Amino acid sequence: MLTESRTRRWFAAACASGAALAFLAASAPPLAALAGLAASAALVLLAQPRLAVYVMVLSFAVSVQRFVAVNIGGLDTLSFYKFLLLGAVAAALLQRGLIRPMLAPAAALAFLAVESYAAAPLRGEVPGSLGIGPLKALFGLAVPFLLLLPDWRPETARRIRALLPWLAPASVAAGALLQAAGLGRLFSAEFTGVPRLQGANIAAHLAMLAFIGTACALYEICRNASGRAGGRYALALINFVILVATGTRGPLLAMAPIVLAFLAAAFRRALRRGVLHAVPLLLLGGGGAAALWLQLDNYRLRQSEKGLSGRDTAWNFFWEKANELPVFGRGLGAVLEANDGTLYSGFTVPHNEYLRFYYDGGLVGLLVMLAAFVLVYAAIARRLAGAEKWTFRAFMLGVCIYSFTDNTLSTIQFTAPLCCFLNGVYILNGGAGGGRGGGFGAVPGRNGGGNAHGEYGENEDPYRRIVGGG
């Protein structure tokens, strides 16, 4: 039964939504119509505050800076978006507590910021001459990694993780709506003449969403082998088709270990349970192969015309400059000022995260960052078993490969959903403390679900045992 106050809230939200839709139907100017929808969404969130976390996750599907240009006091649209994200995470941490092992990446970035000032005399600089540059870089890089921290209730973590394969399709849907409203283009066309699907992002960022979506769907199939996987197979195929349509080559290479681990687990399952269990696998493989075949000419054209898209030149440029200060680097955020016009303007960063952190933090900073990611990986992997563990390992290997060819860890469309995924895997495998600041003291099988090893059996779906809201 709805309480009277909740009924009033929903009635107000419904009225606001109806007004916004009527506004659209009356052919209002596009920006005014979008403002009406935004106001309607805000009222719905007031009516149901628990939806806010899911709206936050869905917001990763849109590159807001493409459509709203703001620059106030040196802060652009993306900076303001990250402030909102920081506020949402802070509210979640106050309410739910944090998972302490997941602090490592943010702590490593903070170390790089301190190192930037401490090592300034070694570079012949005065620490004060750096201004707030390293702190601004710390803010921009660290905020998405804070999504690792909230100790959500298991049901909330499950729902967040379930939303991740929908981000790329949501971006394509939003891009189609924005094109219909005259505010954007669903496809971009480069000088080679190859059309690239970009949705409500740019093509490279949509590819990141699709990579995460495909990998998450395949992981969920391996994690829950008890059936009801038809929807996950469909989501995996949709995300892979979107990934191929973006024309981005790096994530296809990064998908290789994930696909191999998935196929190995799926074939073993099909041999054990019967040939009918291979049907969805064959449909998924056939659909993915067809998508690649249809785009093969475009990939060949891009490869022949663009090669590595200038990455080989950029990597040599940043490598030579980084080697001038190999121990402590040039300071966090210094890579953004490295391109002196020698390279194409799109290379404000090297499109290689290892090289980026080596440039900013030197060998010391790079090793600290790698150690932080290994700690997060180890904290999660030790709670997994069987096909789920191998698929998770392959997923992380794919992330490592992808990070060699693109700005994965410094792009919110990749880092934010990845951190939500890792957070969910940790919580749903017995790594959380029930929303009371768990982590090191969490006991698998008592306060986080799973068996004595923090694992679920192959035929046991933990989601079915979870009750309660977010």
Residues 20 and 162 in one domain: no
CA 32 to each of CA 23, 26, 64, 65, 121: distance values in angstroms, whole numbers, following the listed order: 9, 11, 16, 18, 53
Selected residue with higher pLDDT from 463 and 173: 173
Average pLDDT value over all residues in the chain: 82
pLDDT at 35: 57
For 203, the 3-state DSSP assignment is: helix
Look at the block and give the residue holding tokens 């040939």: 275
Q: Could you tell me which residues come within 8 angstroms of residue 45 by beta carbon, excluding any fewer than 6 positions away?
A: 51, 52, 55
Q: Which long-range contacts (CB under 8 A, 24 or more apart) does 333-340 make?
A: 333/116, 333/133, 333/134, 333/136, 333/137, 333/138, 333/140, 333/360, 334/116, 334/133, 334/359, 334/360, 335/359, 335/360, 336/137
Give the CB-side neighbour count of residue 71, counting CA atoms within 13 A: 2
Overall domain count for the chain: 2
Residues 211 and 319 in one domain: yes
Q: What is the arithmetic mean of pLDDT over 187-212?
A: 89
Closest listed residue to residue 414, CA positions, set 208, 243, 166? 208
Both structure tokens of 89: 């995470």
What does the alpha-carbon distance between residue 406 and residue 409 come to, in Å, rounded to a whole number?
A: 9
pLDDT at 78: 87
Per-residue pLDDT tens digits for 214-231 = 999 999 998 875 556 788
Per-residue pLDDT band at 267 (split at 50, 70, 90): confident
Per-residue pLDDT tens digits for 11-53 = 555 555 555 555 444 444 555 555 555 565 666 555 565 678 8
Q: Which of 25-39, 113-127, 328-342 has the lowest mean pLDDT?
A: 25-39
pLDDT at 284 over 60: yes
pLDDT at 245: 94
Residues 344 and 390 in one domain: yes
Residues 247 and 300 in one domain: yes
Looking at the domain assignment, is residue 65 inside a domain? Answer: yes
pLDDT at 446: 35
Residues 195 and 119 in one domain: yes
**Contact predicate 199/166, CB 8 Å:** no
Residues linked to residue 150 through DSSP beta bridges, in sequence order: 98
DSSP letters for 13-81:
HHHHHHHHHHHHHTT--HHHHHHHHHHHHHHHHHH-GGGHHHHHHHGGGS-GGGT---EETTEEHHHHH
Per-residue pLDDT band at 308 (split at 50, 70, 90): low
Looking at the domain assignment, is residue 364 inside a domain? Answer: yes
Residues 64 and 129 in one domain: yes
Question: For a pLDDT cut of 90, what percent of the chain falls above it?
Answer: 50
Burial (0-12, 13-18, 19+ Cβ within 10 Å), 164: buried
Q: What is the separation of C-alpha 53 from the centre of its chain, rounded to a whole number of angstroms? A: 15
Task: Report the predicted TM-score, pTM, of the whole model to 2 decimal places.
Answer: 0.83
Residues 110 and 6 in one domain: no
Closest listed residue to residue 55, CA positions, set 74, 77, 37, 30? 37
Looking at the domain assignment, is residue 383 inside a domain? Answer: yes
Per-residue pLDDT tens digits for 322-333 = 999 999 999 999
What does the alpha-carbon distance between residue 465 and residue 142 come to, in Å, rounded to a whole number?
A: 34
pLDDT at 440: 34
What does the alpha-carbon distance between residue 378 and residue 445 come to, in Å, rounded to a whole number?
A: 19
- Domain endpoint, select from 12, 30, 47: 47
pLDDT at 80 over 80: yes
Q: Mutual orientation of helices 154-163 and 412-426 as an angle, nearest 10°?
A: 140
pLDDT at 40: 59
In degrees and rounded to multiples of 5, residue 214 shows phi and psi of -65, -50
In the chain, the amino acid numbered 228 is R
Both structure tokens of 138: 């710390």
Looking at the domain assignment, is residue 470 inside a domain? Answer: no
Beta strands in 63-163 (DSSP E): 71-72, 75-76
Selected residue with higher pLDDT from 467 and 215: 215
What does the alpha-carbon distance between residue 205 and residue 412 come to, in Å, rounded to a whole number?
A: 9
Looking at the domain assignment, is residue 34 inside a domain? Answer: yes
Looking at the domain assignment, is residue 73 inside a domain? Answer: yes
Q: Which helix (H) or strand (E) holds 214?
A: helix 203-223
Residues 41 and 143 in one domain: no
Give the range of the structural domain holding residue 41, as residue numbers without chain letter.
Answer: 1-47
Q: What is the arithmetic mean of pLDDT over 189-204?
A: 85
pLDDT at 79 over 70: yes
Residues 105 and 175 in one domain: yes
Residues 27 and 121 in one domain: no
Per-residue pLDDT band at 453 (split at 50, 70, 90): very low
Q: What is the arithmetic mean of pLDDT over 305-319?
A: 79
pLDDT at 190: 74
Per-residue pLDDT tens digits for 348-381 = 889 999 999 999 999 999 999 999 999 999 999 9
pLDDT at 6: 57
Q: What is the arithmetic mean of pLDDT over 271-275?
A: 77
Residues 39 and 172 in one domain: no
What does the alpha-carbon distance between residue 214 and residue 212 come to, in Å, rounded to a whole number?
A: 6
pLDDT at 444: 38
Closest listed residue to residue 58, CA positions, set 197, 174, 188, 177? 174
pLDDT at 399 over 50: yes
pLDDT at 242 over 70: yes
Per-residue pLDDT band at 447 (split at 50, 70, 90): very low
pLDDT at 470: 38
Residues 176 and 67 in one domain: yes
Per-residue pLDDT band at 207 (split at 50, 70, 90): very high
- Domain endpoint, select from 29, 47, 65: 47
